[in-house]
Amino acid sequence: MLQTPEIPISQIEIGSRFRKEYGDIDQLAYSIKSKGLLNPITVGVASKIKMPRETNLPFILLAGGRRMRALTKLGWAKIPVRVLDQSLSELDLRAVELAENFDRKNLEYVEEVALMREINNLQIALHGEKLHTDPNSPGWNKADTAKLLHKSPSSVSKDLQLAEAIERFPDLQLDKCKNKAEAFKRLKAVGSILNNSVQAELYIAKAATSPLFIRLSEAYHLEDCFSYFSTLKDSSLSFIEIDPPYSINLSSVKKNSECIGYNEIPTEVYSKFLSEVFSESYRVLKEGSWLVCWFAQDPWFETVYNLLKEVGFSLSKIPAIWTKSSLEGPGQNQTNQPETSLSNSYEPFFYARKGKAVLSKPGRSNNFQFERVPPSQKYHPTQRPLSLMLEVYSTFSKPGAMGYIPFLGSGVGLLAGHLLKMSLTGTDLTQQYKDGYILELKKILENS
């Protein structure tokens, strides 16, 4: 039953709460000072609440986090409270907190969906997961959570999906949107990312006993390239392919959703960054080895060329190019100034050698003509076709070659290396790109 005594504020444990942003506490404090505390806070008797404790205080705050902050700010020693003296579980406490904040000052959307997810998970833990659609069947599901919170099943389902995505995919920055509607819009735009993650997890579990899958999946390291370089011995590799961020504000020519998770390098540190990558690459390559380096011709042609020369590589100032054949027409190629500039339909790369390296395909043309990956099949904004990478790699290396791909991205380079019987590893920083790679690897292994 509820009682309304006054108790010392120092005897109330606030505990861990889902609300992180409390709004204008000064304004609330002024209102309480002027009009009094119209709505007492609600506390529970600590000895009757089954949850992890932070203190040994006799009471735990159930509802009224903003009011508690305001009263503390006002310096109140004692406050009127409603005391709930019945036994409560952690689930009960969370439900009280969520219900209170739905009815009063809205939670920030990130807090709201996180708390809803917690309540849903706690209910499932308590009752078990409902295995049938019959509402009277035992267990708990999203529809039961919707009924508990007096919300529609569809809105609860969307909120739970958003909460899951916020926690599992921080690179999507769903918690940085202006509001929940914008977060849902962003989530919808990256739906394939989430689906790839789920499918990749399922395949990883299924293929866990396959030595080949384990080797190829573990060849994709979620790690900074300099950290991985530090593990490589001098003169230990015979091939490196570098496809660094181009420092050209890629998002300006791509849809925003395409560049989620893509790590760009600021212009002011780009030269130093490349110099360090090239120096490490030169160190770990054997004499007679090749390095392939993709780059943005404008504005980095001279910079990339000179930096490669400075660390010791030999190369021609005439690069090779990937001509992106087919897919012509409006919107297929890229330009920021369509009225004055022709759209780009090719991409250059320097091929540099350490010592007296020779081509595996002597005399091959420097024009690599291959169709690009259709946008609907991409899971990385600069994903290149496997057919192109097979041709590039086989031009500069041989079966058995050991190599490294510092900016692995889509992981297509690892797939090409596997098919060419090379021994490659690579690094990248983004889980969603590795998920896409796992699914491409699945196709190759199941069709081999």
Highest mean pLDDT among 18-22, 144-148, 187-191, 393-397: 393-397
Cα 51 from chain centre: 32
The CATH number assigned to the domain with range 215-327+344-447 reads: 3.40.50.150
Residue 142 CA to residue 18 CA, distance in Å, equals: 20
Q: Residue 96 has what pLDDT?
A: 65
Residue 97's pLDDT is what?
Answer: 64
Please report the pLDDT score of residue 20 as a whole number. 54
Residue that is written with structure tokens 């390291």 in the block: 221
Cβ partners under 8 Å of residue 436, min gap 6 = 196, 200, 379, 380, 410, 411
Tens-place pLDDT, residues 131-140 = 887 878 888 8
pLDDT, average across residues 288-311: 96
CATH number of the structural domain 1-106:
3.90.1530.10
Share of the chain above pLDDT 90, in %: 44
Taking residues 303-313, report their average pLDDT: 98
Is the preceding peptide bond at 299 cis, omega within 30 degrees of 0?
yes
Arithmetic mean of pLDDT, 289-308:
96
Q: Does residue 331 have a pLDDT over 60?
A: no
Per domain, the residue ranges of the chain are 1-106, 108-189, 215-327+344-447
Is a pLDDT exceeding 50 seen at residue 410?
Answer: yes
Please report the beta strands in 199-303, taking only residues with DSSP state E, as ranges in sequence order: 220-222, 237-242, 285-294
- CA distance linking residue 128 with residue 122, whole number of Å: 10
Q: Which residue, among 95, 114, 91, 199, has the nearest Cα to 164 in the 3D structure?
A: 114
Q: For 201-238, what is each residue's pLDDT tens digit? A: 899 999 989 999 999 999 999 999 999 999 999 999 99
Q: What is the DSSP string of 377-436?
A: G-SSTT---HHHHHHHHHHH--TT-EEEESS-TT-HHHHHHHHTT-EEEEEES-HHHHHH
Asked if residues 69 and 25 have their Cβ atoms less than 8 Å apart, the reply is yes
Distance between CA 243 and CA 241 in Å, rounded? 7
Residues contacting residue 250 through CB under 8 Å, at least 6 positions apart: 259, 262, 264, 381, 382
- With H, G, I as helix, E, B as strand and everything else as coil, classify residue 249: coil
The predicted pLDDT at position 258 comes to 47
User: Looking at the predicted structure, is the pLDDT value of residue 38 above 70?
Assistant: no
Per-residue model confidence (pLDDT) at position 376: 82
The residue among 85, 1, 95 whose CA lies nearest residue 44 is 85
Which run of H or of E encompasses 82? strand 78-84
